[in-house]
Amino acid sequence: MKLFLTTLMMWVLAFAAAAQPAKIPVILDTDIGDDIDDTWALAMLLRHPHFDLKLVTTTHGSAEYRAKLVCKLLAVAGRTDVAVGLGAGGRKGGDKQLGWVSDYKLTDYAGKVHEDGVQALIDLVMKSDQPVTIIGVGPLETLAEALKREPALAAKAVLVGMQGSVRVGYGGKATPDAEWNVKCDIKASKAVFAANWKEMRITPLDTCGLIQLKGPNFAKLAASQDKLAQAVLENYRIWSKKPSVSDLKASSTLFDTVAVYLADPGKDPLFEVEELPISVDDKGFTVIDPAGRKMKVATKWKSLDAYHELLSKAIEGTDW
């Protein structure tokens, strides 16, 4: 009887494991350390139950500074299993969150730090048995360099980006803008947008430019005792040059968090998604162009309030 029960339990556990959806392998490519939204996005990504974060690469220069921020946040989260790669665009510079890592060294990180983050990204994608989702929330130098070295990687990866402005500009303006991540390096953006990705999805300013936590959603998070949430708020305090976290009453615009949300194909989206042909013009605008690459574009919120509530809970680690 004991043998029967043991065997039965093993079958039950095996069935339960098989019933769980396989986690999605993810790379985050980020210019963390300039705007604070990258820090929020990384914390949100670390909380996601369906993602298996494998690698974080930096982009747009300041690689050592950005990598220090990533490494320390990963250590706070207990995720030193995640590799970090120094990406394209140069290594020195960056100071907006320097106070949080002024005494931190890359050698302090217990996980793997790749000096050549571009090659680490290429190797991970090309060797993976399943498609890798790359979440790009910064200018596209690192991804453009990866495509230059290995054009075949696009067909093996899904690209999800906080990129562009299709019908709406900054702050909900009724006309589009040349969005920073795209216009920062137009040549790189053109190459990445035109690549033959297995799938491409973007959240332009039309949706990501409207995200700000305030009121009860922000107050609850600011009072959280969760270590990762506290690290995010402390970085925000340093970035915003406030004397204490208690002086923070609302978040800045959290553009990049929407790309993390968009990366989960299993979610019933809180926004409308259109398939549109998009290209990058010579001024850095992302335009609807019949000759452009077709991609899924998050163009309009169905329930912005629901997203704000989800974001607050995700950062604190209480729900997803």
CATH architecture entry for 23-316: Alpha-Beta Complex (3.90)
Distance between CA 319 and CA 312 in Å, rounded? 9
**Are the beta carbons of 278 and 289 closer than 8 angstroms?**
yes
pLDDT (mean) for 45-68: 98
Which residue type sits at 45? Answer: L
**Are the beta carbons of 57 and 113 closer than 8 angstroms?**
no
Q: What is the pLDDT of residue 80?
A: 98
What angle do the packed helices 63-76 and 37-47 form, to 10 degrees? 40
Token pair listed for 183: 């216009």
**Are the beta carbons of 101 and 65 closer than 8 angstroms?**
yes
What residue spans define the domains of the chain?
Answer: 23-316
The 10s digit of each residue's pLDDT in 103-160 is 999 999 999 999 999 999 999 999 999 999 999 999 999 999 999 999 999 999 999 9
Q: 18 — alpha (psi -120 to 50), left (phi > 0) or beta?
A: alpha
Token pair listed for 310: 């989800």
Question: Phi/psi of residue 206, each to 5°?
Answer: -55, -35
Which residue, 157, 191, 186, 171, is CA-closest to 263? 157
The 10s digit of each residue's pLDDT in 253-298 is 999 999 999 999 887 799 999 999 999 999 999 999 999 999 999 9
Which residue, 122, 163, 116, is CA-closest to 143? 122
Burial of 123 (0-12, 13-18, 19+ CB in 10 A): middle
Question: Phi/psi of residue 227, each to 5°?
Answer: -65, -40
3-state SS assignment for residue 85: strand
Q: What is the pLDDT of residue 35?
A: 98
Q: What is the pLDDT of residue 320?
A: 83
Question: Phi/psi of residue 153, each to 5°?
Answer: -65, -30
- Predicted structure pTM score: 0.94
Which residue, 192, 201, 164, 195, is CA-closest to 283? 164
